[in-house]
Amino acid sequence: HALFPGAATRLQVRTRSEQFDPWELQMSGCQEAIDAHEHPTESAVGKRVVNTAGYQRVARQWKALAKTEWVGQVDCMLTAMCSDAGIPKRLMPVVNDALDWGYRASTAWINTDLGGIAASVPLQDVGATLEAAVRGASPRLALWSTHDTTLMPIMQALGAWDNRWPRYAMVMGLELYEKDGRHYVRITQDGAPIASRLCNGALMCPLDTVMTIIDSWVQKAKQCKNGRRTISALETFATGAEVDLQGPGMAWFGGAGAIVIVLVMGAYLPRKRETEELELEECVLGSPE
């Protein structure tokens, strides 16, 4: 009633114990994935980026100008860009390249199987909600709030990440549709539909396919947890179990059974321009609306 004065029904809010938050990516049981999420530049693939000539060149330039190491400074720089704090003028010659290489090192692990494994538990949470909606046992609108560093592995695991850091207050949606007794999921980003690589680029992905993709990541997480699977530094993002990925090819679908929306309260890293100029006005601190 506080949100909707005079409403005929109450808004139900469900919370979990702070000891169990699957959206923190610490619940997969795979220590490799947990370590990569907590210390991305120390992961095997993160180290490969850090050891490149380009990263090392920028790191030396940064240290000479800032008198400190570059590792761990990405959040600090983004915060300065997105506030009135400003960036010291002496750092401007290296800011573009430093953020670029910092981004590469921080997200390299997401494009391996570790990304999907880390996202397996929150994906189970979302999948259970979608399946409950099919049975009519779920609210028509479910909301989660999470971090940018959580949202990227989730989107990648579903084949829907564009390799860009999510902007502040970005909204990811999973919409459930029904047609002729079969259910489909559409992924959206800020309201715009996203074609999933794991559904052969279809905008409408069969729910069965989505659940198979989620289960494949759950099984890989169990294998890692039980010591039967070691993630190679060179192992690229996998598609999961082999399933029928043919899209429905229909122009119209029935009403949505449920809409699962994830809000991210993070920072926005602008796409690197050909001019190498960082347009700070794109870094907007807006409301989720």
Distance CA 245, CA 258 (A): 22
C-alpha 43 chain-centroid distance = 18
> Bridge-partner residues for 264, per DSSP?
146
Please name the helix (run of DSSP H) or strand (run of DSSP E) that holds residue 92, with its range, or none.
helix 92-107
Q: What is the pLDDT of residues 163-215, one digit of tens each?
A: 888 887 888 999 999 989 899 999 999 889 999 999 999 999 999 999 999 99
Q: What is the pLDDT of residues 77-128, one digit of tens each?
A: 877 877 777 788 888 899 889 988 988 999 999 999 999 999 999 999 899 9
Distance CA 191, CA 255 (A): 16
When pLDDT is cut at 50, 70 and 90, the band that residue 60 belongs to is: very high
Distance CA 77, CA 59 (A): 14
Q: What is the pLDDT of residues 20-30, one digit of tens each?
A: 666 777 788 89
When pLDDT is cut at 50, 70 and 90, the band that residue 12 belongs to is: low
Please tell me whether residue 35 adopts helix, strand or coil conformation. Answer: helix
Q: Which of 39, 262, 235 is nearest to 158 (CA)?
A: 262
* Predicted structure pTM score: 0.76
Distance CA 125, CA 176 (A): 15
Q: Give 62's contacts (C-beta < 8 A, 6+ positions apart).
A: 68, 69, 70, 73, 91, 94, 98
Distance CA 43, CA 106 (A): 9
Q: Of residues 236 and 178, which shows the higher confidence score?
A: 178
Distance CA 110, CA 18 (A): 25
Which of these ranges, 44-53, 75-84, 90-99, 216-225, has the smallest mean pLDDT?
75-84
C-alpha 271 chain-centroid distance = 17
